[in-house]
């Protein structure tokens, strides 16, 4: 029912990483590797997407996961062991892997960088386990 770009700078120079829905079903997020962004869309009542915002990431996002309350987004960053395998410049392939955490401001439809960034060597997947405090 709809086709749209999720790139800020236009076609070329970026490839898709991951797509996820917020658990509350109100937002769809997509990562762009090369441009190093996560784009936030609101999901309208008719199922169409409406651009909301984007957030810059510390590298190529391989995986996106929300916590169960749609409050925090965890972005798994890809570590590059062989930059030569990509057609992008070494600078655009920066990445030492790990996890970056964002907070979703549902009112503004924006991701806020929490400043939480953990280096995890050679991590290509992760899971979230939520316990009671």
Question: Mind listing the pLDDT tens digit for each residue in 54-63?
Answer: 999 988 888 9
Q: Give the position of tokens 């829905």.
A: 21
Q: How many domains does the chain have?
A: 1
In a domain, 123, yes or no: no
In a domain, 5, yes or no: no
Q: Residue 19: its pLDDT value, please?
A: 95
Question: Bigger pLDDT: 117 or 97?
Answer: 117
In a domain, 11, yes or no: no
Which residue range is the domain that position 77 belongs to? 16-118
In a domain, 125, yes or no: no
Examine the pLDDT at 127 and tell me if it is beyond 90: no
In a domain, 63, yes or no: yes
Greatest mean pLDDT among 63-72, 78-87, 92-101 lies in 63-72
pLDDT band at 106; cut points 50, 70, 90? very high
Q: What angle do CA 44, 19, 49 make, to 5 degrees?
A: 20
Question: Bigger pLDDT: 127 or 114?
Answer: 114
Greatest mean pLDDT among 8-17, 65-74, 88-97 lies in 65-74
Determine contact, residues 63/37, Cβ cutoff 8 Å.
no
Q: CA 45, CA 63: separation in Å to the nearest integer?
A: 27
Q: Residue 7: its pLDDT value, please?
A: 82
Examine the pLDDT at 79 and tell me if it is beyond 60: yes
């Amino acid at each position: 029912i709809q086709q749209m770009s999720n790139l800020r700078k236009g076609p070329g120079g970026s490839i898709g990483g991951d797509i996820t829905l917020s658990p509350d079903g109100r937002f769809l997020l997509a990562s762009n590797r090369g441009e190093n962004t996560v784009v936030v869309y609101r999901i309208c009542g008719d199922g169409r997407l409406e651009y909301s915002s984007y957030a810059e990431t510390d590298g190529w996002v391989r995986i996106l996961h929300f916590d169960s309350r749609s409050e925090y987004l965890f972005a798994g960053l890809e570590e590059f062991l062989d930059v030569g395998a990509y057609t992008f410049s070494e600078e655009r392939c920066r990445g030492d892997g790990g996890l970056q955490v964002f907070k979703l401001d549902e009112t503004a439809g924006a991701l806020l960088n929490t400043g939480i960034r953990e280096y995890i060597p050679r991590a290509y997947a992760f899971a979230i386990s939520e316990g009671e405090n």
